[in-house]
């Protein structure tokens, strides 16, 4: 078995270059990741805010949603 020795700084530079190349070629992946992260963050804030309010019935929520449709 062959052992390969790699300088840590050269490996770090190679990984950075590979990531940059990936992001340049697949910008859509970065956009998807960021959109998902923002949606998850927003949902987390909404859940925390909802925990501070009084519960409402399902019927009340459906009535509000139907009125806006």
How many domains does the chain divide into? 1
User: In terms of residue numbers, what domain contains 22?
Assistant: 8-68
Q: Is residue 2 part of a domain?
A: no
Q: In this predicted structure, what is the pLDDT of residue 3?
A: 84
Q: In this predicted structure, what is the pLDDT of residue 29?
A: 87
pTM for the full predicted model:
0.51
Q: Is residue 1 part of a domain?
A: no
What are the per-10-residue average pLDDT scores of the chain (69 residues)?
A: 87 94 89 94 95 94 92
CA distances to 33, 35, 38 from 29, rounded to whole Å, are 6, 10, 14
Q: In this predicted structure, what is the pLDDT of residue 38?
A: 97
How wide is the angle at C-alpha 29 spanned by C-alphas 24 and 34, nearest 5°? 110
Residues 6+ apart with CB under 8 A from 30: 23
Separation between Cα atoms, residue 14 and residue 35, nearest integer Å: 27
Q: Is residue 33 part of a domain?
A: yes
**Is residue 23 within 8 Å of 30, Cβ to Cβ?**
yes
């Amino acid at each position: 078995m062959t052992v390969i020795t790699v300088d840590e700084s050269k490996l770090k530079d190679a990984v950075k270059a590979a990531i940059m190349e990936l992001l340049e070629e697949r910008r859509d992946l970065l956009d998807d990741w960021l959109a998902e992260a923002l949606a998850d963050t927003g949902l987390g804030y909404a859940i925390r805010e909802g925990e501070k309010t009084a519960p409402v019935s399902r019927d009340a929520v459906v009535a509000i949603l139907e009125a806006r449709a």
